[in-house]
């Protein structure tokens, strides 16, 4: 995958679990998983994988206002202290990834993260369902088959065939399979 970057080659990689990739490729799995610019993450119930997905999605810096109050009983020196607390936390918690509904997840491209929902496409009806073949046999009836009485050698059967000449293609038409 790293070699294909020079050629500007596009690759779609789909894996079911990070641990399966690590078993096969070992430490190279980390390099492989870091290559794609756009990643789609769906639900996983594996805690280690959910933590890895959370780290891949990224962290966010949160500023919270902290308020402190000092109250004096006798000398009226009550005070109010305001301070900003800054902390980093995951944009999506591992527990949130483990609790995603079916076909819902996160798309990360570069430094942008979007929550996505994939609609399943309906299956195309290509052929009829099972069609039972009508059988008109009585319960004790046996099917009689006749074998050919005269069998010809393979070479003699070829002599009976007719050779059909193929038409030549018109200008601009290609020749296929003849």
Q: Digits of tens for pLDDT over the chain (178 positions)?
A: 767 777 878 888 888 888 888 888 888 888 888 888 899 999 998 999 999 999 999 999 999 988 888 777 777 777 778 888 999 999 999 999 999 999 999 999 988 999 999 998 888 888 888 888 777 766 666 666 665 555 555 555 555 566 666 666 666 555 554 4
- In the prediction, which pLDDT does 72 show? 73
156's tokens: 């003699």
> How confident is the model at residue 19, as a pLDDT?
86
Q: Give the pLDDT of residue 178.
A: 41
Q: What is the pTM of this model?
A: 0.58
Parse the chain into domains and list their residue ranges. Answer: 8-117
Question: What SS3 string covers 53-121?
Answer: HHHHHCEEEEEEEEEEEECCCCCCCCEEEEEEEEEEEECCCHHHHHCCCCCEEEEEECCEEEEEECCCC
């Amino acid at each position: 995958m790293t070699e294909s970057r020079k050629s500007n080659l596009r690759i779609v990689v789909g894996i079911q679990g990070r641990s399966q990739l690590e078993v096969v490729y070992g430490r190279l799995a980390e390099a492989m998983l870091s290559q794609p610019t756009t990643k789609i993450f769906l639900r996983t119930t594996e805690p280690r994988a959910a933590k890895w997905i959370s780290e891949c999605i990224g962290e966010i810096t949160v500023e919270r206002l902290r308020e402190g109050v000092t109250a004096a009983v006798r000398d009226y020196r009550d005070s109010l202290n305001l301070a900003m607390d800054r902390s980093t936390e995951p944009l999506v918690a591992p527990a949130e990834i483990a609790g995603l509904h079916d076909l819902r997840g996160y798309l990360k491209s570069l430094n942008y993260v979007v929550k996505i929902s994939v609609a399943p496409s309906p299956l195309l009806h290509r052929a009829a369902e099972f069609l039972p073949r009508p059988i008109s046999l009585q319960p004790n009836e046996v099917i009689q088959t006749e074998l050919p009485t005269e069998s010809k050698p393979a070479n003699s059967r070829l002599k009976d065939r007719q050779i059909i000449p193929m038409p030549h293609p018109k200008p601009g038409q290609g020749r296929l399979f003849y």
